[in-house]
Structure 1
Amino acid sequence: MNKTTKTLVAVLVILGGIYAIQRFTSRTSTTELIKPFAGVDTSAVNRVEVDFAGKIILERSQGRWMVTSPVKSPADPGQMNLLLTRIASNPEASVVADNMSDSSAYGFDEDAAYAGFWSTNGKVIEMRIGRLTPDFNGCYIQLTGDNKILQLGTNIRTLVGQPLTDWRDKQIFSFGTSDIETVDFALGDTLYHFFHSDTSWQVNGVRVPEMEARDLVSGLIGSTALGFIDSTVTPSPLIIDYGITLSNKQHIAGQIFKSAGSEVTFGQLC
């Protein structure tokens, strides 16, 4: 390569660098960055509404989240914690449009989602949620009462768009083996009465190896739901009737039915 060629290449590299810097400074100087959730205290939030394929209402009482509509059911604490943590992280957002007559370009059409948060003092924040950003790491949002369209630096659309089943707590029992005093299993006409003391397990008055008894009881109370049946239709055939008495004298009773494949259905919990 001769001297003239080297000089030309050097000039092109310098010009390219200047052009890149100009593009960067131009973009950053005109991009307005805001934190739309800066005033949100998620620890005070006690009501959340989400709507994508149907409105779901979740409410917190005495530290516990419940789905209150369209069904009444304990809420999945992990799902609620993840959503509120995303809000509490106070992500930045850039203004991509100040006022658009046609916001469908950002997903604010029939596919838009909705999320609203309330505390005891009233509404905290409401928003519509459009499509994901091209890198799938964020989404577009529009706060209620504000015409700006924001590009949010975190993805809350996927969370808000979860079906009802994912908002419900799939842990069937909320206690451990150490909380149990007795367990009764009825298989047809045969009753198995498990009694737990501080040092041992007994079945029908006979002491049994603690590990085997604990594994059986743990298998029952450690079960998680794959789905929910909210109708009063009784599946069949019936496998087991069970009753559990806790050390605080609370009693839980129900039935286990055979379902498809290796799955079983828990019913009539009380």
Structure 2
Amino acid sequence: MARVNWTRKELIVAFNLYCKIPFGKIHNKNPDVIELAGVLGRTPSSLSWKLANFASLDPSLKKRNISGATHGSGLEREIWEEFNENWERLAFESEALRLEMSGLSPLGEDEQLFPEGKTRDAIVRTRVNQGFFRAAVLAAHSAKCCITGIAVGELLCASHIVPWSQDIKNRTNPRNGLCLNAFHDRAFDRGLLTITPEYEVKLSTKMTGSKGPGLDSFIHKYDRAKIIVPSRFAPDPLFLQYHHDHIFKS
């Protein structure tokens, strides 16, 4: 049987999965890989190879001397560059394609109550993109808080470094995210702590001057501590600098 080339749509959906599972789980035994391969009409090994090709393009993995496949196609590189140029658009497109190929609808019960039109489209796009962002950030951080190492899913947040409203193109960029527990997520969002471009926790003077039960063990002890930097989609230092300059209450 002649080999059928991968289409742009198939590769976009494959990249969607690459973003949402940890690097160590892109192998052909992973149930998520097997499930998507069935949807695409491909073998798990073929899909796993494409995921490895995307890994070979990932600069975060190159910096850590982690290698994927070394001979990715030009189309895979194009997909990679498209996402990095406009994560907001491609994240939604990849999610919509994945659902379409699976025979599912992006509409939840709440969205179905709205009449068709711009309002419902905006609500669906926001919900879908937020879901993609959370999955990608948690996968990059192996579902652990980058400050404390807490690994209880119900307590973890995908925190935007540059706020959602301030940078449309990078709303769903996993390099604009940190996996934080709910407590430190709130402190980061309010500018009570920041992460420096060197990946160190830095507390505001409001926090360093505060005293009370729990603050020493859950806040003060992390001042100037190094975060757990993910192996891929590491937080972009430029985004971290923006948070320090515009949100952090030094």
Shared fold, TM over 0.5: no
Flag the structure with higher helix content: 2
Say which one has the larger Rg.
1
Q: Specify which structure has the higher proportion of strand.
A: 1
**Given the two structures, how large is their TM-score scaled by the length of structure 2?**
0.23
Q: TM-score, normalised by structure 1?
A: 0.22
